[in-house]
Structure 1
Amino acid sequence: MKKLLPLAFASLGVAAASGAAAQSKPADPVLPQVTISGGRQDDMVERRNSTAGKQVYGREELDRNGDNNVGDVLKRLPGVTLGGRPGRGGEVRMRGLGSGYTQVLVNGERPPAGFSMESLSPDQVERIEVMRGPVAEHSARAIAGTINIVLRDGYQVRDVQVKASDRLEHGRHSPEVSVTIPGKQGALNYTVSASFNVSRQQDRSQTRNLDTEDNGDLAKEQFLQSESAGTNKGLHLVPRLSYKFENGDTLNFQTILMHQQGRSNATTMLEQTVPLVAAGEPRGPEYNLAQQGSENDVTFLRGFGNWVHRLQGASKLDVKFGFGLGKRDSDSLRYQYNKTGALLDRFTDTDSIRDKSVNTGGKYTSPLGTGHMLAAGWDLEASQRDQLRVSLDKNGKPQFADSGENLAADTRRIALFAQDEWDITPQWSASIGARWEGIRTTSDRSAGSIANTSKVFSPLLHAVWKIPGAEKDQVRASLTRSYKSPTVQDLIAAPAQSRQNSATSPDRTGNPNLKPELATGLDLAYEHYLGRNGIVSISGFVRKIDDLIRRDLELRQTELGLRWVSAPFNVGKARTSGIELEAKFSLAELMDDAPQIDFRSNYSRFWSKVDGIPGPDNRLDQQARQTANLGMDYRLKDIPLTLGASYNWTPLVRTQVSDKQRVETSRKRVLDMYALWRFDSRTQLRLSANNLLADDATGYNLVYANGLASQAASLNPTYTQWSVRLETKF
């Protein structure tokens, strides 16, 4: 097999070269024709020509499965996984790393606080760029990598597009309608994308809490059964304007507005079985029945703009500017009852958050010769968060010391970068750059003012070698420095109280003394391109991390008594490495008279180790050991029907979080299928089924401290989602 692969690759390269030679025409020896196109490169061409490793997924990939949100698109991409159970989204992870290791950008900028992939429709996205290593142009807060979501580009849309769909899950309908309207008035081009959706969900969960003393005696056993149901309404508006001046300058401005309203109700039944204490009196549960109603109202507005000014020669100045506004209000009312139905307590929680930010930046590019480009620029950002949290019991008593106090946090960020890209020879290309970034966070609370400052210098080197004699083969290498800064919540978070405080369900708070995690990384990759959109690649990476941030548990004396509290700390060093395989091709491009079948597959294997924590599972933040995706699309020749399926697999993840805590999450298997019927070139109907296997999601949390083993085992059912979507153009 090892001998056949190089022979097959060489044969394919010879065949492709022969075909290209047969179709080419001799160039005019006197006046060679030069074609200038304002369009963007093909996705695979852009990936191949990029010096830094970058995967590009355009409208073809975004439209393939008829996904309802960008998160569903990302879960099928190589090396990308989603935390959480199927159908409920979750944190985006590259190389299995969560908790902020993956940088997510929208139009090259950090999205507003609280932004989630589930709130953005693929209809409003032009392409997704996945970068495995940091580049000087973007922030180096990307230890695992960067995902840049580029919103819909007005130049690419020519027709009015309307899509109407309905999704059915567990007997609950979730309709959605979206429209994209392009236009042009003289030198002004514009596009307006809008969508409205109603999402209805129902969830159930079961949890068993068990505390065991060193002598084997049972200290506590609890069974919780919870059921919740909610409705969320969302409105998204994404207008884009582009104006071209007579001197060739271009002004672009785009906003993304999201408004969501949600209502939910939850019921929890608690049964507790415990032995008698020494005094002979049984210890009862905190409650037997809890009922809670919640409401939330969220609005985000993010503006992106840039002015492109052409200078003498081929030099260019691109000045960026933007702003962000966010408003989040949530209220909940919780009642707790005993076995006889008597009211034990009532909790009222109100949380009001206001975010605002402003940013500017720019990039100057100038050619230094043929195939040689110098770029330099800056980024400035200022953001502010004001938060008011009130938590009262039925007697009006505050549940924590800062209840009702304003929490104000300010963040200032400044960055300078420079980058030199050079096609040294027809075979060698290199990019060398550096980025310096400083972040300062300050806050004021009743407990006093705190401040945290971090400064990081990141040298970056990327290189590509096109193998002589094999025009479709190339090797990539990158040596970079990246980092992960503490979040505002990790630095200055007001205490978040747990209603059932225990070692497996602790209160959470921040730590103002956190330092950023620093990572030195090496990436290597071999790529072989097949046909128009095919590729076979193998890549590997290593990251060495200093000042790793982990949350630790401890018993603290608080205003509510002795309670378990989780807080973040810098715990030491860590190392992670991995191998990623990808194969993507169209069968018709490789074989004569083959059916129109497109194959997509990828597999990743990861290793990690955290120093100072006992093994064997002392891994990084719930990093999976493996993950794989397999997909296929079949376009029938005789009828206008396309069938497709994709399968995502992640095995059980077991992590030794600290010397006293171990966490497990169950394997994840997600099977999605679709059928697409094209009535004509402008109208099509799509039927989809997501999460067909509907595996239960289970979790296990074990904490051993102070002579007590506390265990929490949970089970959460998942559901298949059926959907139908009608798409048309005018």
Structure 2
Amino acid sequence: MNHLTPFACAALLGLAGTALAQTDPASDKPATTTTTPDKPADKVIPQVTITGGRQTEMDVRRNSTAAKQIYGREELDRNGDSNLGDVLKRLPGVTIGGRPGRGGDVRMRGLGSGYTQVLVNGERPPAGFSMESISPDQVERIEVMRGPVAEHSTRAIAGTINVVLREDYVQRDNQLKVSDSLESGRHSPELSITVPGKSGAFSYSLNGSIRQNRQHDEGRTRNLDTLGDGSVTKDQLVTDESSGTGKAIHLAPRLSYKFDNGDTLNFQPFLMHNTRDSGSSSTLVQTAGSVAPEYNFAEQQSHNDSTFFRGFGNWLHKMDGNAKLDVKFGFGAGKMDSDSLRRQYDTAGTLLDRFTDTDKTRDRSINTGGKYTRPLGAGHLLAAGWDLEASHREQTRVSLDKNGNAQFADSGDNLTADTRRIALFAQDEWDVTPQFGMYVGLRWEGIRTTSDRSAGTVKNTSSVFSPLLHGVWRIPGSEKDQLRASLTKSYKSPNVQDLIAAPFLSRLNSATRPDRSGNPDLKPELATGLDLAYEHYIGRGGIVSAGGFIRDIDNLIRRQLSLRDTELGPRWLSTPANIGHARTSGIELEAKFKLNELIADAPDIDVRSNYSRFWSRVDGIPGPDNRLDQQAKQTANLGLDYRLKAVPLTVGGSYNWTPRIRTQTSTCLLYRAGGGDGPEARAGRVRAVEVRRPHPAAHRGLERAGRGCAGQQPGVR
């Protein structure tokens, strides 16, 4: 009965207001109604209207002080998607890395991997976690935040996507789904099942899926190496073909218990097991070059096996004065094993070399955090909290040639890495007036990474202090219009692999396929951001918005390419480094509405559309394509849904567009991806990179100085 108290109070207030309205202002006596002798007085019945229930997604977005886009069950149910990736790629400004339909890392504002923070219930998932393991049926809503907020990590230069799982929802029926996808004639079936249940205060939902994935890829890479006078020292065309079959089992139950005092305990474990077997072949044709090619034909077989277990939960404790304490906890463990065998042959079919590579990686992690919130009055909420996280990684990599010789110095050594992270935050969200609301937040994060290997102990320590300011102005006299502004500090921390990674050798070493290593001296990228947006709300669930943003980035991390003398001879090496300053900006347009709310007698059609345009510039690299890595210039989505009146059926479709990417990654390298115009593009993946170097004598001087190809002129594209 307690949840009916607010509505009862509203009813009493409505009755009281009606009674006051019927009182004669000039007298303490109630007002009388004029009657005639033969007609009785009309009885006045007050009318009281009570509205209640949860806010809609659009209401939450509209009332939020910090800019937040909410996509709830209506959006999740609209297209019958089997995984979250298909849902996310239709959101404004969101793209999915990798080949279309293959899944990949989630990106916002066109920025590459690592710039977008993806959370599940406010928690950062562990390495190797796949969003495909979460069924859309388990999700309550998806929150898209353009600017960081203090309660979540500020490792979100592009923004944050928070997937909030269902809590109070209890599905009544068992559910079985069977789906299949088709790519180039290859089927990838999937079977998923959901079994809900409830017993008193305890409720659960058992979710699992089994899938098989078959893929085939073809691609061409041209390696062109020229000197400063334009003469060609090497021209190679590499044609690759690969096929593979992967199998996966995902289990994701959800358990919830509600105590008598109103406290709630939630726990959600994830178990993921994936295996993949693949084979590939490579043909190399060299039309120019004084040095013999590494091979003419190569074949490789690989096997990968990974298992991840992750559990996270929270305990929500309600306190006096509508205050509450939300304590989070989580842990995880994972193992990844891979092995491959590669054979390389000359033009006569003679075996030149055989390479075996094995990699064993083990991960463990534990984390906790909490948030205390207390209302300070109507429209005023204060919050403070903490985050603690510890992780441990062990990795052993062995690389041998046909004679059993190790291919790098640390081959076979056990590499360990430990990461510790601590964060403290406080935030104040306040509707200062009915027209103006503001959000002030402060967050401090410290990260320490330590690694032990044969070369010695490597340590990296960094900390970031992030002040955050958001504001919303609801335009007086126009309840449907409002302006938003945000001024924030955010960052992107180096990942463990970039800090302490063991060397990875490329079997066809070139500028496009270099060896890779880590850099223990990396610093986090720091970004100052400004966001502006105008929002106009239409009807019950429509909106038209236009916004823009700027991110000014210092300590930009980018992989640098250099040619070095090694025990295996001259080899190209890619190493991450802080190269300086960059800036990115963009405009974001969104329109979402029901057509019959704008045009009378129009059909019942829902329209969803968005368009984003991005710019970026990296200082010290010549243009015109000196953009941030992997950033698309544009992205757009268009969706239409039509509700049939005669039958309970909705039909619709959506279209996603992202053009190809051209990036000048250094003064001598240009990267192209995402399509093309020639036959190579139609054959599949296309990578084309030209490397231009000065005269060999000058080149050797540069290598001794550690500059690689920095400062050289870019090649013809």
**In which range does the TM-score fall when normalised by the shorter chain?**
0.7 to 0.9
Cα pair distance change 1:243/1:302, threshold 3 Å = same
- Structure 2 length as normaliser, TM-score? 0.87
Q: What is the alpha-carbon distance in structure 1 between the residues aligned to residue 418 and residue 52 of structure 2?
A: 46
Q: What is the alpha-carbon distance in structure 2 between the residues aligned to residue 330 and residue 387 of structure 1?
A: 12
Q: Tell me the equivalent position of 1:728.
A: none
Cα pair distance change 1:136/1:34, threshold 3 Å = farther
Deviations 1:347-404 (A, max 9, x none): 1111111111000111111111121111000000000111111111111111111111
Gapped runs of 5+ residues in structure 2?
Answer: 1-10, 19-47, 697-712
Query: Is the CA contact (8 Å cut-off) linking 2:419 and 2:450 kept in structure 1?
Result: yes
Deviations 1:153-181 (A, max 9, x none): 45253332221112222222111111222
Q: Tell me the equivalent position of 1:489.
A: 497
Match of 2:506 among 498, 515, 527: 498
Q: What is the alpha-carbon distance in structure 2 between the residues aligned to residue 305 and residue 344 of structure 1?
A: 54
Tell me by how many angstroms 1:456 deviates. Answer: 0.6
Cα pair distance change 1:705/1:216, threshold 3 Å = closer
Q: Tell me the equivalent position of 1:167.
A: 181
Tell me by how many angstroms 1:701 deviates. Answer: 2.1
Deviations 1:457-510 (A, max 9, x none): 101111111112211211111111101111111111111111111122211111
Cα pair distance change 1:74/1:697, threshold 3 Å = farther
In structure 1, what residue type is equivalent to 2:458? I
Q: Equivalent residue of 1:356, what SS?
A: strand
Match of 2:598 among 584, 590, 603: 590
State which drifts further: 199-208 or 312-321.
199-208
Q: What is the alpha-carbon distance in structure 2 between the residues aligned to residue 56 and residue 152 of structure 1?
A: 14
Q: Equivalent residue of 2:169, what SS?
A: helix
Tell me by how many angstroms 1:191 deviates. Answer: 1.3
In structure 2, what residue type is equivalent to 1:360? T
Tell me by how many angstroms 1:103 deviates. Answer: 0.9
Q: Tell me the equivalent position of 1:472.
A: 480
1:399 aligns with 2:386: no
Q: Tell me the equivalent position of 2:323.
A: 315
Q: Tell me the equivalent position of 1:386.
A: 394
Tell me by how many angstroms 1:142 deviates. Answer: 0.4
Deviations 1:401-427 (A, max 9, x none): 111111100000000000111111111
Q: What is the alpha-carbon distance in structure 1 between the residues aligned to residue 364 and residue 312 of structure 2?
A: 14
Cα pair distance change 1:607/1:587, threshold 3 Å = same
1:255 aligns with 2:269: yes
Q: Equivalent residue of 2:405, what SS?
A: coil
Deviations 1:682-714 (A, max 9, x none): xxxxxxxxxxx999553332332344899899x
Q: Tell me the equivalent position of 2:23.
A: none
Query: Is the CA contact (8 Å cut-off) linking 1:209 and 1:710 kept in structure 2?
Result: no
Q: Tell me the equivalent position of 2:122.
A: 108
Q: Tell me the equivalent position of 2:346.
A: 338
State which drifts further: 520-529 or 635-644.
635-644
Match of 1:227 among 224, 238, 241: 241
Match of 1:368 among 371, 376, 380: 376
Higher relative contact order (CA 8 A, sep 6+): 1
Alpha-carbon RMSD across the aligned residues, in angstroms, is: 2.5
Q: Equivalent residue of 1:313, what SS?
A: helix
State which drifts further: 130-139 or 97-106.
97-106
Cα pair distance change 1:668/1:41, threshold 3 Å = farther
Cα pair distance change 1:61/1:695, threshold 3 Å = farther
Q: Tell me the equivalent position of 1:599.
A: 607
Cα pair distance change 1:333/1:152, threshold 3 Å = farther
Q: What is the alpha-carbon distance in structure 2 between the residues aligned to residue 610 and residue 243 of structure 1?
A: 51
Deviations 1:62-113 (A, max 9, x none): 2333334322222211111223232223332211111311111122111111
**What aligned pairs does 1:424-439 form with structure 2 within 5 A after superposition?**
424-439=432-447
Q: What is the alpha-carbon distance in structure 1 between the residues aligned to residue 461 and residue 473 of structure 2?
A: 40
Deviations 1:596-634 (A, max 9, x none): 211111111112222222222222123222221111122
Match of 1:54 among 61, 68, 81: 68
In structure 1, what residue type is equivalent to 2:334? G
Query: Is the CA contact (8 Å cut-off) linking 1:154 and 1:190 kept in structure 2?
Result: no
Query: Is the CA contact (8 Å cut-off) linking 1:180 and 1:191 kept in structure 2?
Result: yes
In structure 2, what residue type is equivalent to 1:330? S
Q: What is the alpha-carbon distance in structure 1 between the residues aligned to residue 307 and residue 434 of structure 2?
A: 50
Q: What is the alpha-carbon distance in structure 1 between the residues aligned to residue 367 and residue 403 of structure 2?
A: 45
Cα pair distance change 1:607/1:274, threshold 3 Å = closer
Q: What is the alpha-carbon distance in structure 2 between the residues aligned to residue 365 and residue 265 of structure 1?
A: 54
Rg comparison, structure with higher value: 2
Tell me by how many angstroms 1:667 deviates. Answer: 5.2
Match of 1:182 among 175, 183, 196: 196
Q: Equivalent residue of 1:177, what SS?
A: strand
1:701 aligns with 2:689: yes
1:195 aligns with 2:195: no
Q: Tell me the equivalent position of 1:72.
A: 86
Query: Is the CA contact (8 Å cut-off) linking 1:166 and 1:174 kept in structure 2?
Result: yes
In structure 2, what residue type is equivalent to 1:465? W
Query: Is the CA contact (8 Å cut-off) linking 2:545 and 2:590 kept in structure 1?
Result: yes
Cα pair distance change 1:710/1:270, threshold 3 Å = farther
Higher percent of residues as strand: 1
Deviations 1:108-127 (A, max 9, x none): 11111122445544344332
Cα pair distance change 1:204/1:519, threshold 3 Å = same
Q: Equivalent residue of 1:61, what SS?
A: helix
Q: Tell me the equivalent position of 2:15.
A: 28
Match of 1:151 among 143, 146, 165: 165
**What aligned pairs does 1:446-595 form with structure 2 within 5 A after superposition?**
446-595=454-603
Cα pair distance change 1:500/1:119, threshold 3 Å = farther
Query: Is the CA contact (8 Å cut-off) linking 1:154 and 1:241 kept in structure 2?
Result: no
- Structure 1 length as normaliser, TM-score? 0.86
1:83 aligns with 2:83: no
In structure 2, what residue type is equivalent to 1:312? D
Q: Equivalent residue of 2:322, what SS?
A: coil
In structure 2, what residue type is equivalent to 1:638? A
Cα pair distance change 1:171/1:225, threshold 3 Å = same
Q: Equivalent residue of 2:179, what SS?
A: strand
Query: Is the CA contact (8 Å cut-off) linking 1:303 and 1:323 kept in structure 2?
Result: yes
Query: Is the CA contact (8 Å cut-off) linking 1:263 and 1:295 kept in structure 2?
Result: yes
Deviations 1:328-349 (A, max 9, x none): 1111111112222222111111
Identity in percent = 69
Query: Is the CA contact (8 Å cut-off) linking 2:218 and 2:683 kept in structure 1?
Result: no
